[in-house]
Amino acid sequence: MKRLFYLAVGAGAGIVAVRKATRAAQKLTPSGLAGSAGGAVSGMTGAVRTFLDDVRFNMAVREIELTDALTGESGQSGESASGLPGERNGRSAS
């Protein structure tokens, strides 16, 4: 009875080891690497897009500040404190 138990435990451990090894080998194939790289690239794309949106927004704000400083104008009607129409809480309405 003891031998049968250890035979079953050994077979179960062997199956688990083979399945884990197969999964690890699948991740190292070209299609597996492409799948994991694709997820990383899509996440990076979103972060870069957000960064560029922030840069464009702040460039527009700074351009208005510089224009106002050079021309001596400030506080035009219909615009927010930073001078951008349609702005809410320091961010664009889009």
Q: Which domain holds residue 11?
A: 2-71
Residues 6+ apart with CB under 8 A from 73: 67
pTM above 0.75, yes or no: no
Residue 84 lies in a domain: no
pLDDT tens digit sequence for 10-43: 999 999 999 999 988 888 888 777 777 777 777 7
Q: How many domains does the chain have?
A: 1
Residue carrying the six token digits 């840069």:
55
Residue carrying the six token digits 């077979």:
11
State residue 92's pLDDT score: 53
Residue 12 lies in a domain: yes
pLDDT tens digit sequence for 40-73: 777 788 889 999 999 999 999 999 999 999 998 7
Residue 48 lies in a domain: yes
Residue 80 lies in a domain: no
